[in-house]
Chains A and B, each alone.
Chain A
Amino acid sequence: MSEGRRLYLDGVSVVFDGFRALNNLSLIVEPGELRSVIGPNGAGKTTMMDVITGKTRPTAGKVLFGETDLTRMDEAGIANLGIGRKFQKPTMFDALTVFENLELALKAPRGPIACLRWKLNGEARTRIEQTMAEIGLTERAQDLAGILSHGQRQWLEIGMLLMQDPELLLVDEPVAGMTDSETEHTAALLVRIAGRRSVVVVEHDLEFVRALGRRVTVLCDGSVLSEGSIDHVQNDQRVIEVYLGR
């Protein structure tokens, strides 16, 4: 595990028009770790992912992946470093088929000429088919992504994330719109991936977080409120106040 890179956020702040979406946030995700992030709406969870993936530039603070300063790179560069992301609102290419969406995500040279020369060989085809089996979309391979249901879109986007074969996976609310058995499947999948890869999961579904069973970070008002096992944070008085209620 020592050869992996760790994600290191230090004192990160993001200010929109005077509003602090992230406030001096610090977080470390070790190589191979599976980390859950929870917190009330507007806590800054998605903004944190925006900062890591280069969508939003932090107003202050350091964001490192291994030795690399992510704040100096663009989205494509960060993705090519090996950081993949699944969006809160599943987004893919509606005019392309399920197969084509996965093919685009498949780890391969990304330049125009390389894409022009690209030939789908047996190895790549097998990988795509395996992934389609994993996400349960084998039957829909030739359907346009635009006609999939919300849950299927969630799966397709997870599939695309798997195709990228990233070192760090950022997964924003993966199980919204999934059935219970699908949720379990997803949890098992993420647990399986972790270890080889680092994973950061944002989710409101506490059962799911419990099923992941690893370290949990609670975000509130843009900074870390509490961190520890699920039982630890569930019994933290402050967390109960601002998030869990009761």
Chain B
Amino acid sequence: MSLAVAPPVADARLRLGLRAGLGIFVLLLGIMPLLNLLPVTHPLHVSDFLVSVTGKWICYAILALSLDLAWGYAGILSLGHGAFFALGGYAMGMHLMRLIGPRGVYGHPVLPDFMVFLGYQELPWYWLGFDSFPFAMLMVLLVPGMLALIVGFLSFRSRITGVYLSILTQAMTFALMLAFFRNDMGFGGNNGFTDFKELLGFALNTSAARAGLFYASLVALVLSFLICLRLTRSKYGRVLTAIRDAESRVRFLGYNTTSHKLFAFVLSAMLAGLAGALYVPQVGIINPGEFSPANSIEAVIWVAVGGRGTLVGAVLGAFTVNGLKTWLTSAAPDLWLFVLGALFVAVTLFLPKGLIGLIKGRVQ
């Protein structure tokens, strides 16, 4: 399981080049909503569709970063990161539902439509507080974080690793999906949440709100990247890589690997939750389908395609695969699942270090 064996100097220069590329990329993303304001006839005009779809991809890139932290650095192949993403999304969705207030179809002052429909008399206790934005944001991080803490603590303490952990996390998201499909969970069952009206006083259907969410996601991406960078560049990052490659040896050096992995896993889950929270107001809906195990494993392939164990790779992979998906699902819908399946096979067999590995190979 050794990663790139390259002279560190060339490596550093390459890393610098990749960072510069990323910086330019972020700048390009940053001017997209501005170009959207240009008249439609202008050659540099960017369509509404492209802006909104890019906003989604930015959230996916944050999810990819979080997954890369767990898998690429700490060696925890989570097949349940979609669950953390969805939980963050649901926390945000609850806030948005509360903000609808009396504007719902049934016009109830407090209860969301689906609760009126299901005959709720009052808000369930776990919905309290979600009308406050700071509280909701706290939950966006805390709920996925707590779940990761519990699942991670139990698993890491019992030294469950490798595919066992992967299957366990997959079972986790599957169980959550089944649970959220139930109406009496109080999360809207099948249909989840939709018909959001506003956020922080801005009507969501205005282009200003959309641009705002876009920038918020972009800032979150940059911040997440910097956090991950700080983490992985530190001695803590090196401990994580050491755990990934030879966990028991790290223990004999006196490191409590359970707490190190737990720290990374919980942080990673929180980032995934943040990504989900930014995603939901942009797509305008959240339902239990987000918990589907296939979603989580698709996120894994973004990281694999970009190159795991490199932060730039995770971002690159998220944009590449999702770009391909958006293009193919409209150009040749039947083909997409083949291509996605083939990507899994090709990356694992021929491109274990992903696109970044390919670029590195070229440079040297």
Q: CB atoms of A and B under 8 A apart anywhere in the complex?
A: yes
The interface-forming segment of B114-122, B214-222, B242-250 is: B242-250
With beta carbons under 8 angstroms apart, the residue of B3, B230, B254 that contacts A95 is B3
Q: Is A160 an interface position by the 8 A CB rule?
A: yes
State whether A95 and B259 are in contact (beta carbons under 8 Å apart), knowing that A118-B236, A142-B8 are contacts in the complex: no
State whether A116 and B236 are in contact (beta carbons under 8 Å apart), knowing that A92-B249, A93-B241, A94-B245 are contacts in the complex: yes
Residues of A within 8 A of B (CB): 53, 55, 74-77, 79-80, 85, 87, 91-97, 100, 103-105, 110-113, 115-118, 142, 144, 146-147, 160, 164
Chain B 1-44 against A: per-residue CB contact (8 Å), 1 yes, 0 no? 11101001000000000000000000000000000000000000
State whether A112 and B260 are in contact (beta carbons under 8 Å apart), knowing that A97-B8, A144-B2, A144-B5 are contacts in the complex: yes
With beta carbons under 8 angstroms apart, the residue of B8, B238, B241, B263 that contacts A112 is B263
Cβ–Cβ < 8 Å partners of A117 in chain B:
234
Cβ–Cβ < 8 Å partners of A95 in chain B:
1-3, 241, 245
B238 touches A103 (CB 8 A): yes
Q: Is B235 an interface position by the 8 A CB rule?
A: yes
Q: Is B255 an interface position by the 8 A CB rule?
A: yes
With beta carbons under 8 angstroms apart, the residue of A79, A111, A116 that contacts B253 is A79
* Given contact pairs A93-B249, A103-B235, A118-B235, a sample of 19 additional A-B residue pairs in the complex whose CB atoms are under 8 Å apart: A76-B254, A76-B255, A79-B254, A80-B254, A87-B252, A91-B246, A94-B245, A95-B3, A96-B242, A103-B238, A104-B238, A111-B256, A115-B235, A115-B260, A116-B235, A117-B234, A144-B2, A146-B5, A147-B5
Cβ–Cβ < 8 Å partners of A118 in chain B:
234-236
Main DSSP-derived SS at the B contact region: helix
Query: CA A118 – CA B230 in complex, angstroms?
Result: 12
Closest B residue to A118 using CB positions: B235
B251 touches A76 (CB 8 A): yes
Cβ–Cβ < 8 Å partners of B259 in chain A:
111-112
Cβ–Cβ < 8 Å partners of A91 in chain B:
246, 249
Cβ–Cβ < 8 Å partners of A87 in chain B:
249, 252
Q: Is B257 an interface position by the 8 A CB rule?
A: yes
Q: Is B239 an interface position by the 8 A CB rule?
A: yes
Query: CA A85 – CA B252 in complex, angstroms?
Result: 7
Closest B residue to A117 using CB positions: B234
Interface centre among B1, B2, B3, B252 (most CB of A within 10 A): B252
Query: CA A94 – CA B5 in complex, angstroms?
Result: 9
Chain B 243-282 against A: per-residue CB contact (8 Å), 1 yes, 0 no? 0011011111111110110011000000000000000000
12 A–B contacts from the bound complex (CB under 8 Å): A76-B257, A93-B238, A94-B1, A94-B245, A95-B3, A104-B238, A104-B239, A110-B254, A110-B256, A115-B239, A118-B234, A164-B253
Closest A residue to B256 using CB positions: A76
Query: CA A22 – CA B239 in complex, angstroms?
Result: 33
Closest B residue to A100 using CB positions: B238
Cβ–Cβ < 8 Å partners of A85 in chain B:
252
A75 touches B2 (CB 8 A): no
State whether A116 and B234 are in contact (beta carbons under 8 Å apart), knowing that A75-B251, A95-B2, A146-B2 are contacts in the complex: yes
Closest A residue to B244 using CB positions: A95
Q: Is B231 an interface position by the 8 A CB rule?
A: yes
Query: CA A76 – CA B235 in complex, angstroms?
Result: 18
Query: CA A64 – CA B248 in complex, angstroms?
Result: 22
Closest B residue to A108 using CB positions: B235
Within the complex, what minimum Cβ distance (angstroms) separates A103 from chain B? 7
Within the complex, what minimum Cβ distance (angstroms) separates A102 from chain B? 11
Closest B residue to A91 using CB positions: B249
Query: CA A97 – CA B250 in complex, angstroms?
Result: 15
Within the complex, what minimum Cβ distance (angstroms) separates B88 from chain A? 22
Within the complex, what minimum Cβ distance (angstroms) separates A91 from chain B? 5
Cβ–Cβ < 8 Å partners of B1 in chain A:
94-95
Query: CA A111 – CA B241 in complex, angstroms?
Result: 15
Query: CA A77 – CA B250 in complex, angstroms?
Result: 12
Closest B residue to A112 using CB positions: B263
Query: CA A105 – CA B242 in complex, angstroms?
Result: 11
A53 touches B252 (CB 8 A): yes
B251 touches A104 (CB 8 A): no
Closest A residue to B257 using CB positions: A76
Cβ–Cβ < 8 Å partners of B2 in chain A:
94-95, 144, 146
Closest A residue to B6 using CB positions: A144
Within the complex, what minimum Cβ distance (angstroms) separates A108 from chain B? 8
Cβ–Cβ < 8 Å partners of A92 in chain B:
246, 249
Query: CA A129 – CA B242 in complex, angstroms?
Result: 21
Query: CA A164 – CA B52 in complex, angstroms?
Result: 53
Query: CA A116 – CA B254 in complex, angstroms?
Result: 16
Query: CA A105 – CA B246 in complex, angstroms?
Result: 14
